[in-house]
Amino acid sequence: MVDTGIFATTAEVGYKAGKGASATSKAEAYVNSFMTQVESFINAECRYNFSDNYSTLNADTKGILKDCASNLAAIYVIIYDMSGYASRVDAEDIINVLRDAALRDIGVLKDKKATDFIREVV
């Protein structure tokens, strides 16, 4: 199977989910499903279809999208099975850090002052 996500790869999601992530939830088939969901969420939340216009975005914007999507997908990977982490609290701490970073990214992507920069054609 091959990565089908636009914004981030399975490996990038795995890095963020950490060593406690289950082999099942970080498998490519699962991550591809999670990526489809988070990419759609990002597009809807920002009211701009980054997926359809991805090739026209600058490298900085692609980096923000990669960070946001991999953070959100990693949360799904962790939630699927928390048994590999030292404790549920450890898993929840990672989720909180990932959520905070994703919210920061969404804020940047939605910020009116950044809109022209984000949608700048290369």
Q: How far apart are CA 28 and CA 50, in angstroms?
A: 22
Domain containing 16 equals: 11-118
Burial of 72 (0-12, 13-18, 19+ CB in 10 A): buried
> How many domains does the chain fold into?
1
Residue 106 lies in a domain: yes
Residue 6 lies in a domain: no
21-63 pLDDT, tens digit per residue, is 999 999 999 999 999 999 999 999 999 999 999 998 888 889 9
Residue 77 lies in a domain: yes
Task: Give the pLDDT of residue 112.
Answer: 64
Q: How far apart are CA 30 and CA 73, in angstroms?
A: 10
Asked if residue 16 has pLDDT above 60, the reply is yes
Residue 3 lies in a domain: no
**pTM reported for the whole predicted model:** 0.91
Asked if residue 99 has pLDDT above 90, the reply is yes
Q: Of the ranges 66-70, 78-82, 92-96, 115-119, which one carries the lowest mean pLDDT score?
A: 115-119
